Homo-oligomer: A and B are copies of this chain.
Amino acid sequence: MFELLKTDPQTKARLGRLTTAHGVVETPVFMPVGTQASVKALDPRELREMGTQIVLGNTYHLNLRPGLDIIRAAGGLHKFMNWEKPILTDSGGFQVFSLAKIRKIKPHGVEFRSHIDGSLLFLGPKEAMEIQRVLGSDIAMVFDECPPHDAPAREQRLAVERTIRWARECREQPRADGQKVFGIVQGGSNPELREECARALVAMEFDGYAIGGVSVGEAEPEMMKAIEFTEPFLPANKARYAMGLGTPAQMIELISRGVDMFDCVLPTRIARTGTAVTHTGAFALKGSAYKTDFGPIEEGCECYACRTFTRAYLRHLLRANEILGLRMVSVHNSHLFLKIMAEVRAAIAAGTFAEFYREFIANYTPSQKILAQRQRETER
């Protein structure tokens, strides 16, 4: 399923190729997030035009709304949302632990109340895999337990034990035709737990491995360490996916640490409040500095928004609450994330990734405001 094409000689960056039932995904890859069967504010044509290879869907959200019967009747998630390329579905584990009310952990899953209508529901390995089977995603994720980053050591250990047990249960469930399943490594910022969890999952021979329990409110250095504690125990011939990350600079950092796959609501979420991202950082497009700035969001950018509209016009739209404003910033931001991944792949292929990395990080000014956001909580 995963072909490792090249490893960067100076860093751990990898060039790879994931083959799925709905097509090939070149890695490193950024996956736009379509939690509720729609990448917010974007349509499939726009996604294709910006070079989207694979999108995310979400078990927890889609099971609550529209509900599985409707997606089953549609013939699966691809047909329902009219997206013919690969889809990865998250298992709902993260959402059960972050969104749902009054949850009760049981041996074979979690009892919780829907955040929409309060109804009592149950999600565990069996249920999560069955939902993902019906959704028909190309890559399904195991049902894991994702404790808060500041959970006590005992809770982190219990979460790892459950995550391993539930992963084994997931492994045995029926799958959709050609569906691949990724394990999720938990263990917080504890190196022993990370190693233990990774080793146990790798022994089960999943099709790929995600690093979970990152971007859950912890500081950036701690997040980097969680990745560094985990990565050495993951096999080279399987894809590695850092869940819910990150800013452009974070993705570049993680690629240099051996990560292949990313998903994040950041580009569309901050677009809706008028924040645009470029190769050098983020800025609030509503600022008065852009009143009569008739250049594009980012000079040289080939996205539809930059080819069509000026900063001054987009600023006006955002201030006037015109939907076209947030639409176009969503187009630009998502395009940028995908474009950076294309540049990364070209650099690894050319053997110049280390140079690309240094330049990128040197030119990029991280936004403290954005880093402080807990990006995954409500939407992933």
Contacts and interface: CB of A to CB of B under 8 A. Distances in A.
Given A73-B292, A80-B316, A82-B313, 5 more contacts: A41-B324, A45-B304, A65-B320, A66-B312, A66-B315
Contacts of A66: 291, 312, 315-316, 319-320
Contact of A43 (B74, B294, B315, B324): B324
Chain A interface, DSSP helix/strand/loop, else mixed: helix
Given A308-B44, A313-B80, A313-B81, A36 B320 contact: yes
Interface residues of A, number: 39
B323 A323 contact: yes
Q: How many copies does the complex hold?
A: 2
A308 B37 contact: no
A66 to B, nearest CB: 4
Contacts of A40: 322-324
Contact of A316 (B37, B309, B313): B37
Contacts of A316: 36-37, 65-66, 70, 80
A43 B322 contact: no
A267 to B, nearest CB: 14
A273 interface: no
A70 B324 contact: no
A315 B325 CA distance: 24
A224 interface: no
Interface string A48-66: 0000000000000000011
Given A43-B308, A44-B308, A313-B81, A319 B65 contact: yes
A328 interface: yes
A111 B190 CA distance: 69
B41 A323 contact: yes
A116 to B, nearest CB: 9
A304 B44 CA distance: 11
Contacts of A304: 45
Interface string A289-316: 0011010000000001000111011011
B328 A43 contact: yes
A179 interface: no
Contacts of A310: 74, 80
Contacts of A74: 292, 294, 310, 312-313
Contacts of A157: none
Given A73-B292, A292-B70, A323 B327 contact: yes
Contacts of A44: 308
